[in-house]
Amino acid sequence: MKRLVMILVFLVIGGVAGGGYWYWQKVQSGVTADGAPRQAQGKGRGAGKGGGGPLVVKAVRAVVKPMPVVIEAVGTVESEHSVQVRAQVSGVLQSVLFKEGDKVKAGQQLFQIDPRTFQAQYNQALAALARDKAQLENARAQQERLEPLLKREFITRQEYDVAVTSAKSLEATVQADQAVAQQARIQLDYTRIHAPISGRTGTLAVKSGNLVAAGAGGGGAPLVTINSTDPILVSFSIPERQLEEIRRQRNEKEMRIEIVPDRNAPAAAEGKLVFIDNTITPQTGTVLLKTRVDNRNEVLWPGQFVNVGIVLKVEPEAVVVPEAAVQPGQEGSFVYLIDSESKVQVQPVKVSRQLGRDVVIAAGIRAGDQVITEIPQALQPGATVRLAGADGKGPGERGTEKGKKGKGGKKGESKP
């Protein structure tokens, strides 16, 4: 008897648990206990209170417009010509004739090293040259005087040859003196250091009054570094799979390279491709390219990172939708499309490329198709939607408000 009672109790408990689970499944699937769709019941209960009805969405139409075919990369701005200015003679730095960061021109004097020692050496070389020139003139005069005497045999041939040899020896001495004087002049000129190129100066490594040493090794750090800033180069790398397309389009007029320091700003400069490296980097599978651009206003600065857009060509009729309309999915990108009956369809699309906030669609939709740009959480495929107006309400809402007022009646009244 006790066993029968326990079996009955377990059966009752199992039946209650099964019924509760069945009811929970119906609620979760959107069907009430009586078998009616819960959404439909909600509509019936909220019909007079604005509940239910089509979802209000924002949508735009896909448009056709010219869009460039762009390869994007990150580049580094570098000076086309950079020179480290060093002293070529040793001495005390007497004066600095510019300020750090100044823009200088080629040939402009930058530094003055104490020239007194080199001026003395130059003067000494000039004096030796003048002395030997005087001796050469005397030797040549002596040779001219002895020449007629030799013809008359008043002197021996040996005496005349000695005079000729002395004159030639002094000619060589004068030439050596001229070389020494020229070298001394060059050393003296080296005390005045001029800008080898036009550009902008960097940090000044040595202040006036310090002793500077000649040569790249002995002088330590350069006195100053000058970087040319106009024109300027931008170097960047691209994947090797894109190299063939760039080489094919390189000589086309449409191809250009845009430099954008800030992604949200317009292009700061445009240029042409001037360099393609002769090898692909095995470690990264990329190839180095360079472009030269005008930089009169010095918008670009050496060492700066910039965005590079390689415009290969312009596609005249590209189908474009906003970025917000394209959704990611497990099987690829898709958009929510509104058909002619105001119902929502999930439409797979093939994205060609993205430029800013515009997405170019290669396949899936056509110009004029309406795509939803703001996706409500409750949006489901097949649902009926209406477009939001300028005031944030759909046309149906505005019509409902007018219907509530009635013809000639007050709001809330109804005609019999």
When mean pLDDT is compared over 12-21, 250-259, 342-351, the highest value belongs to 342-351
Q: How far is CA 165 from CA 139, 142, 168, 328, in A?
A: 9, 11, 5, 98
pLDDT in tens, 171-187: 999 999 999 999 999 99
Q: What is the pLDDT of residue 36?
A: 38
Is the pLDDT confidence value at 393 over 90?
Answer: no
Indicate the CATH number of 70-80+228-311 among 3.30.70.1520, 2.40.10.10, 2.40.30.170, 3.90.380.10. 2.40.30.170
The average confidence (pLDDT) of the chain is 81
- For the chain, what are the domain ranges? 55-68+317-392, 70-80+228-311, 88-113+192-227, 115-190
Q: What would the mean pLDDT of 333-345 be, rounded to a whole number? A: 88
Q: What would the mean pLDDT of 331-358 be, rounded to a whole number? A: 87
* Cis peptide bond N-terminal to 302, omega within 30: no
Q: What is the 8-class DSSP label of residue 241?
A: G
Lowest-pLDDT range of 12-26, 100-114, 128-142, 190-204:
12-26
Which amino acid is residue 159, in one-letter code? E
Residue 262, both tokens: 């800030």
Please report where in the chains the tokens 């010509």 appear, as a residue: 81
C-alpha torsion 398→399→403→404, nearest 10 = -30
Separation between Cα atoms, residue 124 and residue 113, nearest integer Å: 20
Residues 6+ apart with CB under 8 A from 299: 261, 268, 269
Residue range 55-68+317-392, CATH number: 2.40.420.20
Q: What is the pLDDT of residue 317?
A: 86
DSSP collapsed to 3 states, 327-344: ECCCCCCEEEEECCCCEE
CATH superfamily ID and name for 115-190: Helix hairpin bin (1.10.287.470)
pLDDT in tens, 76-93: 999 999 999 999 999 999
Indicate the CATH number of 88-113+192-227 among 1.10.760.10, 2.40.40.20, 2.40.50.100, 1.10.3720.10. 2.40.50.100
Q: What is the pLDDT of residue 199?
A: 94
Residue from 87, 96, 91 nearest 203 by CA:
96
